[in-house]
Chains A and B, each alone.
Chain A
């Protein structure tokens, strides 16, 4: 079928003849395209900012002392429909969870060229006491230089200096969330009570905020200090934090590490799996809902085309009488659908762009409980949102125009031309 210029022209003229209805339909497509673009940008932006923060300031792989054979991770485990078993995690210190002689393990890990950096971490649970407040807190013993390369503490200090941590043996830096809970400032001295009941007085030398609550709820101390508090040997740690050169290859690296060291290794994606899958579930639900908005706009397209066909029976018959083919008559209405969709998509893209700008400039109150904090909405920005949404609008319009264009091509000129005007 050759779509000649004249077919385009006829299609355009019929549309512009019903200006108001055409504009309304275009507007309908435009608004739904805008809503879809904004929704995609919002959801994608959330996921992206989350993963970016993780990638930039969380370990790509965590090697932990947990034995990889440990089968049960859920508290509730349903064996069959009639019975439910409950497992308690061992709350006592378990030497099985330690990486002993971590330097040796580090050497094994470094044989993988994808691993750029290994940072040993010893995490211990303590009760922190400051003033009248007494709360459990996780203290992570680190080697400051190495840990900084992963978590970028030095870039995220809100008070004090990260370097102080290295200089004084009884110093800690504390995450902004925890600092808020305890209302401590730099220079304060707080007491940490170990599992064995020993109390250690430490100096708060800095406060940092990475934006990841899991990190900002904790305190960080020199590895040696943490080992003292927890009564561990100098070659014992609980985790090794790893940074990789190539993120696409970390699954393979994690597998290799598991095999070579017999310690468990999890990638950041595995560690954040529940959050990521929650994001994905929410996004697909939102896309599903927004899809209906576009579907309604599609009905608008079908509506204007049906009107155009019904009111143009005579014209269709005339065009056929002087030799326009059925396929060319169909083309007129498909083209009308496409014209409306294209203009609608164009307007929708413009509105969507503006919407993204507006949404990303709205200040929001950071939440302490969500995984990632931000003071404004992180909107995703990608030309693909516009492209995909526009193509989608075109597809919807195309399907909406199929019915009307079919009935137009089926008009029998004899029946129409016979009748009076």
Chain B
């Protein structure tokens, strides 16, 4: 079995902006080549604006490269339609964003159920059970029916993590998940990731500013100006 879960082959990403009548093309990422193995706990670091978020969205096939190929779980994604990409995302990926992004009208439980109900893979009752278990796992079992605005930032992020895990993703992708949290909540989130990686061999890729956080993962991809500056295994 192939141990590579994500591979970038000569990946470029250009940004085309329009200023008055001038079309400006800026290269955000250039010629990225790397592989992420199954079970790896990887952090992506680098200065602000270096292209980390862009890279993560490409890995999460939310965005398409301008040039090059992104391979996810052995499948080249370049030629896939938007619908096919959506199905793949639901099947293989879990996202955690910096700003929680829970759906405000829905309870914690319902938020976690959303990805499971998208494809009709789960019955409502099964999704409910699974969501409950996940929320207990992130120690939110006592806030099942709370709405996001009744939760603190740290609590919301834990619900978001439970949601990202709900479809048993092959890869968990997180964009500065502790960026908005205090040190205590950051530690809780980090410990959760660590535990997931060690106990269930969950592949995790985290974009982070936090040097301490990064050094406790198993691999660091350091990005500067849209290129990989160095890649170290810890």
Contact = CB atoms under 8 A, between A and B. Distances in A.
Interface of A: 2, 4-6, 10, 13-14, 17, 314-315, 317-328, 413-414, 417-418, 420-421
A209 to B, nearest CB: 65
A152 to B, nearest CB: 66
B105 A13 contact: yes
19 contacts: A4-B117, A10-B103, A17-B105, A314-B101, A317-B101, A318-B101, A319-B118, A322-B89, A322-B114, A322-B115, A322-B163, A323-B89, A323-B90, A323-B91, A324-B118, A325-B83, A414-B62, A417-B57, A420-B99
A315 B105 CA distance: 10
B63 A321 contact: no
Given A5-B124, A327-B83, A418-B53, A322 B101 contact: no
Contact of A323 (B99, B103, B115): B115
B118 A323 contact: yes
B117 A326 contact: no
A144 to B, nearest CB: 78
Given A319-B114, A321-B95, A4 B103 contact: no
Q: Which of A6, A14, A17 has the most CB of B within 10 A?
A: A6
A318 B94 contact: no
A313 to B, nearest CB: 11
Interface residues on B, range: 20 to 34
Nearest to A417: B97
A326 B86 contact: yes
A146 B205 CA distance: 99
Contacts of B99: 420-421
Nearest to B117: A6
Contact of B62 (A321, A325, A327, A421): A321
B82 interface: yes
B216 to A, nearest CB: 26
A6 B105 contact: no
Given A13-B106, A319-B103, A322-B114, 9 more contacts: A6-B118, A13-B105, A14-B105, A318-B101, A319-B114, A321-B62, A322-B164, A323-B90, A417-B57
Interface string B110-140: 0000110111100010000000000000000
Contacts of A2: 120
Contacts of A418: 53
A413 B101 CA distance: 12
A147 B210 CA distance: 104
B87 A323 contact: yes
A418 B62 CA distance: 11
A19 to B, nearest CB: 12
B154 interface: no
B60 interface: yes
Contacts of B124: 5
Given A5-B124, A420-B99, A322 B118 contact: yes
A218 B225 CA distance: 102
B103 A315 contact: yes
Contacts of B88: 323
Nearest to B91: A323
A417 B82 CA distance: 17
Interface string B138-164: 000000000000000000000000011
A50 B228 CA distance: 87
A321 B172 CA distance: 12
Contacts of A315: 103-104
Q: Which of B103, B120, B163 has the most CB of A within 10 A?
A: B103
A2 B119 CA distance: 9
Nearest to A409: B82
Contacts of A14: 105
A413 B86 contact: no
A321 B88 CA distance: 11
B62 A6 contact: no
